């Protein structure tokens, strides 16, 4: 791929890559905070098949390269990049389909400590002023939380999406919010009207900006130019908001806030494990989940939960031999670990169920 930043130009090989950003290998990277124009050759020799994007340098490793985060990419380019990544995973024989064996649910709630954990409550349907059942029952505390988010957060946070989300996801995030908080759905609570109108005004503004490519580009550029000191969220606050997203079954929001935890505390392994647990719930983000698990284990090689959930991810990707190695590592550290024993027993049972190859097929190659 080729890149340009000011007077600097280069052609680099890709390191790690995802829909949110990538690592470029280059001996002389631009300074952190620089804007970079990218042309990614996902299909060399095919006219019009390159992916074009604008990014910001957020991490520099002198002599090695730079990590960049996308701030603008058209929908068609985002689709081509997604297809390219999927093709790479397929070529590596990494299958994302759900296995036939039963695997424990990989809810990221399992990786929040007890004081940080928030259960996912069952939502009881309420009744609107017209007598029709409403989709959600809300509280004044929830309204205040979203109004505060409208003032202090980003448009992405308000709609419960990420900077990589498509226009359809933007629309879906807006309509989910409208179905829950539109003033017409709560006419029996007139004292909520002002707050709900304020919230829906902010949601409408977010939708209009993120649905327009030029408006979104300008907004993303403004976000990227903020200095880290402008962010008021502590790691604990990010964990709390992530927990709230998890309670509301908002996986995209959970991933967004756990990313902030990792960004603000990159050397803390448990936040990477929690982020990976959220990423592995989306098939197209499982490769990034692998990277987060690997980094977490590098930071804390004695964290059994990282090995265990990493193994579950490999089972989901139908790579049981890799999962077996990780479960065995858990038992090396803790021979009494119940979950690791159960997963190994399940793998053994699945292996025994496989029919033995017929003798004739061994010689025929079939």
| Number of alpha carbons in the 13 Å side-chain half-sphere of residue 154 | 23
Nearest-angstrom CA–CA distance, 128 and 118 = 28
DSSP 8-state symbol, 341: H
In the chain, domain spans:
2-91, 121-211, 237-247+257-353
* pLDDT score of 270: 92
Residue written as token pair 């580009």: 217
C-beta separation of 337 from 328 below 8 A = no
On the question of a common fold for 121-211 and 237-247+257-353, the answer reads no
* pLDDT score of 3: 78
Assign domain 2-91 one CATH number from 2.40.10.220, 3.30.750.200, 2.40.50.140, 3.30.470.20: 2.40.10.220
C-beta separation of 212 from 218 below 8 A = no
Residue 291's nearest CA partner among 276, 306, 305 is 276
Contacts for 318 with CB less than 8 Å, ≥ 6 apart:
95, 97, 99
* Residue 325 bridge partners (DSSP): none
C-beta separation of 173 from 165 below 8 A = yes
Residue written as token pair 């130019």: 225
Fold of 121-211: Helix Hairpins (1.10.287)
* pLDDT score of 241: 86
Tell me the two tokens of residue 7.
Answer: 């007077």
Residue 293's nearest CA partner among 264, 334, 325 is 325
* pLDDT score of 49: 66
State the CATH architecture for 237-247+257-353.
Alpha Horseshoe (1.25)
Q: Pick left, alpha or beta for residue 95 (phi over 0 → left; psi -120 to 50 → alpha; otherwise beta).
A: beta
- For the chain (366 residues), the mean pLDDT of every run of 10, in chain order, is 76 58 79 78 65 77 79 70 66 41 37 34 32 55 86 86 86 89 85 87 89 86 58 72 83 86 88 92 88 92 91 92 93 91 90 64 46
Give the phi and the psi of residue 38 in degrees, each rounded to 5: -120, 145
Nearest-angstrom CA–CA distance, 180 and 196 = 10
* Residue 174 bridge partners (DSSP): none
Tell me the two tokens of residue 144.
Answer: 């205040």
Integer CA distances (angstroms), 112 to 115, 118, 132, 330, in order: 8, 8, 37, 19
Tell me the two tokens of residue 103.
Answer: 């695997």
């Amino acid at each position: 791929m080729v890149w340009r930043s000011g007077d600097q130009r280069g052609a680099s090989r890709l390191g790690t890559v995802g829909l949110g950003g990538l690592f470029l290998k280059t001996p002389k990277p631009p300074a952190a905070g620089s804007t970079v124009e990218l042309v990614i050759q996902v299909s060399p020799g095919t006219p019009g098949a390159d992916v074009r994007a604008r990014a910001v340098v957020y991490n520099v490793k002198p002599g090695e390269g730079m990590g960049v985060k996308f701030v603008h990419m058209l929908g068609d380019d985002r689709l081509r990049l997604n297809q390219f990544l999927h093709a790479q995973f397929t070529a590596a024989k990494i299958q994302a389909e759900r296995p036939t064996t039963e695997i424990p649910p990989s809810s990221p709630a399992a990786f929040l400590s007890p004081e940080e954990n928030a259960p996912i409550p069952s939502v009881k349907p309420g009744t609107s002023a017209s007598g029709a059942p409403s989709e959600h029952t809300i509280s004044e505390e929830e309204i205040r939380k979203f109004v505060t988010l409208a003032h202090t957060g980003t448009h992405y946070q308000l709609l419960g999406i990420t900077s990589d989300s498509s226009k359809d996801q933007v629309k879906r995030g807006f309509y989910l919010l409208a179905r829950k908080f539109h003033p017409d759905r709560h006419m029996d609570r007139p004292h909520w009207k002002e707050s709900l109108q304020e919230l829906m005004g902010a949601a409408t503004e977010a939708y209009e900006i993120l649905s327009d490519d030029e408006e979104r580009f300008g907004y993303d550029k403004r976000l990227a130019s903020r200095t880290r000191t402008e962010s008021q969220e502590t790691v604990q606050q990010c964990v709390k908001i992530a927990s709230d997203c998890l309670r509301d079954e908002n996986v995209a929001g959970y991933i967004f806030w756990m990313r902030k935890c990792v960004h603000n505390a990159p050397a803390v392994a448990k936040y990477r494990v929690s982020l990976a647990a959220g990423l592995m719930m989306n098939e197209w983000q499982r490769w990034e989940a692998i990277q987060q698990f690997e980094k977490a284990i590098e930071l804390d090689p004695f964290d059994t939960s990282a090995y265990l959930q990493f193994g579950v991810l490999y089972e989901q990707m139908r790579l049981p031999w890799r999962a077996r190695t990780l479960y065995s590592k858990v038992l090396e550290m803790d021979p009494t670990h119940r979950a690791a024993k159960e997963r190994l027993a399940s793998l053994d049972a699945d292996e025994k169920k496989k029919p033995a190859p017929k003798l004739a097929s061994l010689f025929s190659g079939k």
